[in-house]
Amino acid sequence: MKIVVLDGGTLNPGDLTWEGLKELGDTEIYDRTPDEQVIERAKDADVILTNKVVIDREVMDQLPNLKYISVLATGYNIIDTDAARERDIPVSNIPTYGTQSVAQMVMAHVLNHTQHVAYHAKTVADGRWSRSDEWCYWDYPMIELHGLTMGVVGFGRIGRAVGAVAQAFGMKIVAFDEYVSDPGDPEVDMVSFEDLLKQSDIVTFHTPLTPETEGMLNADALKLMKSSAFVVNTSRGPVIDNAALAEALNNEQIAGAGLDVLDVEPPPIDHPLLGAKNCYITPHISWATRSARARLMQTTVDNVAAFIEGEPQNVVN
């Protein structure tokens, strides 16, 4: 069994081990693979593991030995699943590894906007407090979360985890998910997307990228939000119209945004959100705690082992 990992560098920058995978077959591991080298590196592979390297119909046509694709992530839009199904190639993903880590990142972005800890700590380090005539100071409004409303868009595993953490801060939760009618919690109200935008002080996105969700937070939707509200996105960048969000921030139509994903990654230097007012962007790292990556690694090994045993798991096609 020939196993090729095309871009394992982000999953394992050196603090995890590939030994579990190597025990399953002849394994070649690349930290990253440019598009022009995909065919050469994968030409003899029975199994391909990929995080962001695209495996489309054209690539599959040139890989006659390919029997199985395992995505090193939850999202699998980089794979032409229809083309794989036509070739009887199962495609598996990793569905649950990062739930708590993503929920933690959501609250990090929320607390960044409400407390500005890093900013104020920097002013202290720069000597401002030592020079101050007052015993305290703050340059941004301090916002208490208790009693505010968080709107959770997409109420699956991650959305529910985020809601639970927010409830611990005393927040009210409203949620929108066109496939969920029962939130499983009497304290959570399921509402329309429009009503969620109108009611929420913080709107956080946890929905997959589909034709229906792409650009769902657009210019018209942003107009429904409170001027004091914040947007957080740790799901997929294109669920938000990034240009419309930048305009809303620069016009102070909403109060701010905390984003771990963008519509283009890495973003071009002139991306409209990079210079937008009160917009804080992290480089797609909500999944990247060591604990989450260790779970991802173990599930990857389990996925490949299940395929070899003839019972593939976590199949998305």
81: nearest Cα among 302, 315, 306, 307: 315
Query: Cα(127)–Cα(129) distance, rounded to whole angstroms?
Result: 6
- At residue 144, the 3 state secondary structure works out as coil
Q: Catalytic residue among 236, 271, 293, 295, which? A: 236
120: nearest Cα among 141, 104, 144, 145: 141
Query: Cα(286)–Cα(102) distance, rounded to whole angstroms?
Result: 5
Cα angle 182-188-190, degrees, rounded to a multiple of 5: 55
Residue 108 Cα distances to 84, 103, 162, 164, angstroms: 38, 9, 11, 15
Q: Catalytic residue among 57, 58, 265, 290, which? A: 265
Query: Cα(61)–Cα(42) distance, rounded to whole angstroms?
Result: 12
**Strand residue runs (E) in 184-271:** 188-190, 202-205, 230-233, 256-259
Contacts of 205 (CB under 8 A, 6+ apart): 153, 154, 217, 231, 232, 233, 234, 235, 236, 239, 240
Q: Tell the residue number behind the tokens 């230097």, with chain if given.
A: 269
**Is 284 one of the annotated active-site residues of the chain?**
yes
Q: Which residues are catalytic?
A: 236, 265, 284
